[in-house]
Structure 1
Amino acid sequence: MEAVTTMEALESLIERSKEQTVVLFKHSTRCPISAHADEEMVKVAEDFEPQGIAIGRIFVVENRDVSLACTDMLGIKHESPQVIVLRDGEPAWNESHHAIRYDKLESVLGQ
């Protein structure tokens, strides 16, 4: 799971989603719900990155500008924690908080 700390890195992942599925995970280091979501996302990354799915983690506190730009650029409501699946440069699916679970992402990424 790569850290997305700059606007250039965010734009690059969005562009890459035109060729392959990309998952953006917006993570807050100050939130216990986000800590649990992070555990789920580590498992997702272990299983799906080898299959060619790019996964980026945005730290919402440390990189607030990137976090807010992400949802602005994609036209979706900001949440934290939040997972956004991108296909063809557009959000195909997103969830937040307790809905960030391995089984849900496995279902979406397996499509």
Structure 2
Amino acid sequence: MNWNKLTNDTQLDVIKEESAEQPILIFKHSTSCSISAMALSRMERNWSDQLGVKPYYLDLLANRRASNNVANEFGVHHESPQVLLIRNGECVYDASHMAISFAGLQQAV
């Protein structure tokens, strides 16, 4: 799995533009949380590029401002860990904690 790093809020405009061409996944990860580490590992183990989704990884501890702006921009309540599926500039699916799964993402795509 090849993560694209989301490190600043100016990337959100790019993500919204890209999401017109293909779905975008944003994985908000807390590097100090064992639940977040487990959710990340499960996503990576099950990932398939054939899904056609471009994945972004956001270390929310290192990039708190970008994390807050993701929540505001896409109208979701901040959670950690959290995944958001962006299509045509809007969040069409989000899940957090133990609800994060590749199967859930597949259904949303």
TM-score where L is the length of structure 2: 0.89
Instruction: Return structure 1 stretches of 4+ with deviation > 3 angstroms.
Output: none
Q: Structure 2 stretches of 5 or more lacking a match?
A: none
Matched, 1:104 2:97: no
The Cα RMSD (Å) is 1.4
Matches within 5 A, 1:31-110: 31-44=33-46, 46-48=47-49, 50-109=50-109
Name the aligned partner's letter for residue 21 of structure 2: E
Q: CA deviation at 1:84?
A: 0.4
Question: Contact 1:43 / 1:102 at 8 angstroms: preserved in 2?
Answer: no
Aligned to 1:26: 28
If the length of structure 1 is used for normalisation, what is the TM-score?
0.87
More helix by share: 1
User: Residue 35 of structure 2 contacts residue 97 of structure 2 at CA under 8 Å; is this kept in 1?
Assistant: yes
Q: How many residue pairs were aligned?
A: 107
Letter of the aligned partner of 1:91 in structure 2?
C
Q: CA deviation at 1:51?
A: 4.6
Unaligned runs of 5+ in 1: none
- Please state how far the C-alpha of 1:43 moved relative to its aligned partner: 3.2
Tell me the distance in 1 between the aligned counterparts of 2:95 and 2:33. 16
Residue 9 (structure 2) aligns with: 7
Identity %: 34
d(CA) in 2 for partners of 1:99 and 1:54? 20
